[in-house]
Structure 1
Amino acid sequence: MSDCSSLYSDCSSKELEDELETLGWYHYDLSRHATEALLLSNGSDGSYLLRKSHEGPNFLAISVRAKDSVKHFHVTRKGDGYSFGFNEFPTLRDFIEHFANQPLLGSETGTLIMLKCPYPRRVEEPSIYESVRVHTAMQTGRTENDLVANAPSLGTKEGYLLKQGAIIKNWKTRWFTLNRNELKYFKDKMFEEPIRILDLTSCSAVQFDYSQEKVNCFCLVFPERTFYLCAKTGVEADEWIKILRWKLSQIRKGR
C-alpha cells in the first residue's frame, strides 16, 4: 500500500476535465458491493475511499472500514463546492485538507469512526502466476452450459440476535442469516438446518421496538405474528433494520 500521506496520484501536465480524477483515492464507478469486498479484504480499520454514489450525479460517497464492516456516507457536490455532514467546502482542496487534518466521523447512531488512511486507486500487484503443467485427463461430464457465473446476492447479512419466544416470552440467542428474500434463524452457527425461514415477501414492516425491557430491539411484522429481536448494540440493530427495510422496498418495487 502506498504512503498514507500521499493524497494525490501522479497527474499529467494537462488539466483534467474533473479535478476529482487527480485524487489518488477516488475510485470512480466502484460499486458499493465491490467497495465493501475491497476494504474488508485488503484494507484495515480506518481505510477509506471516495467513489460515485448511485443516488445521482451530484452525490459522492465516502466508504470507510470500521472494524469488521464498511460504512458509507454521502458527499454532495454543490457547484464547485462540496457538502459533507454539517461542513461546507468551497474547493476540492479544502475538502481534502479536512480529511488530512480532521479524519473523524460520527454516525447517526453516535458511534465515532476514525478515518485513518485513504485507500489508493492504484495498488501494485505482485506478478506471480502459476505455470500450467498439464490439463487433467479426468472428465467431469460438464459442458460449457454448466459454466454459469454465480455470486451471493446483494444485501446479505448474518449474525447473532436475541429472539423472543412465541408462547413463553423468554429470550434465546439465535444465529440469523439474510439472503435474498429469506431471513433464517438457527439454534447456533454450526447448525445446517434452520429452525424457521421467514419469507420477507409477507413482511409488512420492520421498525425499532421500545415495548420490551431490553434495549436495541426491533420487530418484524408478519400477518400471523410479530417477531421481536434484539442486537448487542444500537449500531448493529440499526444495520439490521436498514438492510431489512431495503429488502422490503425492493420487494415492493418488483410487485
Structure 2
Amino acid sequence: MSLYSDRSAKDMGDELETLSWYHCDLSRHAAEALLLSNGKDGSYLLRNSNDGPGCYALSVRAKDSVKHFHVTRKDNGYVFGFNEFPSLQDFVNHFANQPLLGSDAGTLIVLKCPYPWLVEEPSIYESVRVHTAIQTGRTERDLVPIAPSLGTKEGYLVKKGAIVKNWKQRWFTLNRYEFKYFKDKMCEEPIRTLDLRACSAVQFDYSQDRVNCFCLVFPERTFYLCAKTGVEADEWIKILRWKIVSIVRLKC
C-alpha cells in the first residue's frame, strides 16, 4: 500500500538538505570505510547512487560488513523494495523497529544510529605515538562521546619533493582538517601540516612516472603523493574529498 502524501518535489528536496545523515556524493567505498572505521552495528547513512537523479543508496553497517540498499525518489515519496514512504524519516522510523532483511550469515539489519555528515572531530591525539596506541588498543575512556563520528586515517605514502623532485616515503596522519606528514611513524613532530580548509581539489594524477598517484591542490603548491596500491590511493582520495565537502557545506 502506498504511503505517499501530497508533498511537492521541493519539499522532498528540502528534506534531503536538512537531513543530518545525507552525505550527498560520498562514494560507496568511502561510505564503507567510514562506517567500518568509525561507526557501529546499525550505523547508517544516505548517499547519492550512480544510477542517476532521484536514486540513492542507504549504506548500513551490519557487524563487520556494510550493506547497501537502493532507495528511489518517485512522485511524492520514496520507494524501497515493495514499500513506499512519504518521507525519509518515515522510512527510518519503519525500519528502526523492523529489520531491513537478513544477511547471508543470518544477521538481521536494523537502523540504529545515523552517521552525520557534520562532524566535529575532537583532537584526541596528542602525538603520533598516542594516536598509534589508541588505534591498536583504545577503550571508551580514550574517546570523547562523539568520537564515533571521527574520520581519521594514517599510513605511509611516497611524496614528491618541492625543490628536489625526488620521491621519499613519509608517514601521513589525517585528523580533523589537518593532514600531517612525518619523517617516519615514530616521529613526534611533523615535517609539515596541511590545512585542508585551503585545499581546492584532491584527485588521481597520471602526469607522474609512477602508478597509484594522486595530488592535493593548494593555492601555493600542488602536492603529489603515491600509494602502494590503487585501492589504497582511492581510500585516501575518498576520505580527503569527504573532508573537503564537509568544509564547503559548513561554509554554506
Per-residue CA deviations over 1:85-138 (Å, capped at 9, x if unaligned) read: xxxxxxxxxx969x64xxxxxxxxxxxxxxxx465669xxxxxxxxxxxxxxxx
CA drift of 1:164 comes to 0.5
CA drift of 1:79 comes to 3.9
Greater fraction of residues in helix? 2
Tell me, in whole angstroms, the C-alpha distance in 1 between the residues paired with 2:175 and 2:67. 21
Would you say the 8 A contact 2:42–2:62 is kept in 1?
no
Match of 2:45 in 1: 53
**Equivalent residues in 2 for 1:166-177, closer than 5 Å:** 166-177=162-173
Match of 1:13 in 2: none
Per-residue CA deviations over 1:197-217 (Å, capped at 9, x if unaligned) read: 001111111111000111110
Tell me, in whole angstroms, the C-alpha distance in 1 between the residues paired with 2:66 and 2:228. 18
Tell me, in whole angstroms, the C-alpha distance in 2 between the residues paired with 1:219 and 1:35. 25
2:244 to 237, 242, 248: 248
CA drift of 1:53 comes to 2.8
Per-residue CA deviations over 1:126-163 (Å, capped at 9, x if unaligned) read: xxxxxxxxxxxxxxxxxxxxxx7563762111111010
Match of 2:211 in 1: 215
**Equivalent residues in 2 for 1:57-206, closer than 5 Å:** 59-63=57-61, 73-76=68-71, 79=79, 81=81, 100=104, 117=105, 119=107, 149=145, 151=147, 154-206=150-202
**Which structure 2 residue ranges, 5 or more long, are not aligned?**
1-20, 22-30, 49-54, 73-77, 83-99, 111-143
**SS in structure 2 at match of 1:54:** strand
Would you say the 8 A contact 1:184–1:197 is kept in 2?
yes
Relative to the length of structure 1, the TM-score reads: 0.51
Larger Rg: 1
**SS in structure 2 at match of 1:61:** strand
CA drift of 1:168 comes to 1.1
**Equivalent residues in 2 for 1:1-20, closer than 5 Å:** none
**SS in structure 2 at match of 1:240:** helix
Tell me, in whole angstroms, the C-alpha distance in 2 between the residues paired with 1:96 and 1:152. 25
Would you say the 8 A contact 1:61–1:75 is kept in 2?
no
Would you say the 8 A contact 2:159–2:224 is kept in 1?
yes
Would you say the 8 A contact 1:153–1:179 is kept in 2?
no
* Percentage of identical aligned residues: 56
| Closer/same/farther in 2, CA of residues 150 and 171 from structure 1, 3 Å limit | same
More relative contact order, 1 or 2 (CA 8 Å, 6+ apart): 2
CA drift of 1:246 comes to 1.1
| Closer/same/farther in 2, CA of residues 74 and 167 from structure 1, 3 Å limit | farther
Would you say the 8 A contact 2:154–2:172 is kept in 1?
yes
Per-residue CA deviations over 1:192-241 (Å, capped at 9, x if unaligned) read: 10000001111111111000111110000111110000011111111111
**SS in structure 2 at match of 1:247:** helix
**SS in structure 2 at match of 1:254:** helix
Amino acid at match of 1:54: L
Would you say the 8 A contact 1:50–1:61 is kept in 2?
no
Amino acid at match of 1:60: L
**Which structure 1 residue ranges, 5 or more long, are not aligned?**
1-28, 40-48, 83-94, 101-116, 123-147
| Closer/same/farther in 2, CA of residues 211 and 71 from structure 1, 3 Å limit | farther
Tell me, in whole angstroms, the C-alpha distance in 2 between the residues paired with 1:202 and 1:166. 18
CA drift of 1:37 comes to 4.8
